[in-house]
Structure 1
Amino acid sequence: MTLHARCCLFVLGLLLQTVSASAGILISMQNATLTGSGFIDVMVSSTATPGSPDLLDSFSAKLVLAPVGAATVAGLQFSNPQNDSQLGLGNYVFSGNSLTPAPLGNVTSATATNDTYTFGDATVSGSGISLNSSQPAYLLGRIDLSVVAATPGSQYTLTLANDAFTDFSDPSFGPLTIDPASFNSATITIGTL
């Protein structure tokens, strides 16, 4: 085999390793505008190939609200308690196979009132849900928010925390890789109240 052919195979191998290393669970949230109470949907999908899907059997997710710039601290809060309305929706990731009854989590105060929400669920079957890049995203959580003391035009970020409270596991309780893009923030703008 020529040196050029060996180099090409080496580079191809590196590319394949890079693709598989970045495959994993992808959490996404859309930017939103709220006027009073409302919700934001947190979605789950996977960057895994259809031939080698992620098998999601349980999860724990920690979400954090933070003011942007001069926005009032605690002006936007997680509603307490949460409605957990995703449990009744057909596009919920564990629809018809949810182990945990409501409430799925707890709203707590870390740096401001009701600024943190940690929630989770698992399958009843214990066999997991197959996720891959050819499927549409599933609903992970419909997160209820309340505008408490914010002024119109102020903004807040909603972020998935990259810590021990955020975990996605397969049926053998092995951790699934979380795509780094999952930790990008969504921006919530306060509309006219």
Structure 2
Amino acid sequence: MIMRTNAKRVIVTALFAAAVGLGPAVPALADVADGYTPPSVQEENVPTNPGAIEPMANTSDEPYAFRMGANGTYATPGRAKQDASSTYVKVTTISQACRLYVDGGTSSNGPWYNQTCYASTGKSGGYANATRVGQWRIRQNVYENGFRWARLSAWANNGTTYIAGEWSPDSYGSYTAINGG
């Protein structure tokens, strides 16, 4: 009878751990039944905002460098977009303000469609103003509109421009959005 009660507690604990996203902690669950709380279940390890978008895997930064003549455009290769988070962009060098875009595609080679959000409406078709160095986010609707590939592109709308830094299709953390149009 005691064994059966402990087994039930272990099963219920395992189901709870899976439901809140703590992953498979099966070896430690036997200890939970005896009153031990494994480190993965400690309060500081439990998500505090269960409705938040959790980043998937594509938050690794890759370098970009765009040298564009007046009214020129440039784009990175496509990368997998794995969640609905904003795109991260770090500007380390910029010679003149330009517009950045996040395009969504159906494959790593496109076709590409501007998914950058308008600041006022949140709808696709806008742009982001890159004016100075820093770390930023670009709000876009790539994932929400069913695209699974993204690329960063730019337009030298203010004349000859050089802009360089790093970017990732998905992001985590808090950065100021630079969507302006």
Q: In which range does the TM-score fall when normalised by the shorter chain? A: 0.3 to 0.5
| Structure 2 length-normalised TM | 0.34
Higher strand share: 1
Indicate the structure (1 or 2) with the bigger Cα radius of gyration: 2
Using CA pairs under 8 Å that are at least 6 residues apart, name the structure with larger relative contact order, 1 or 2: 1
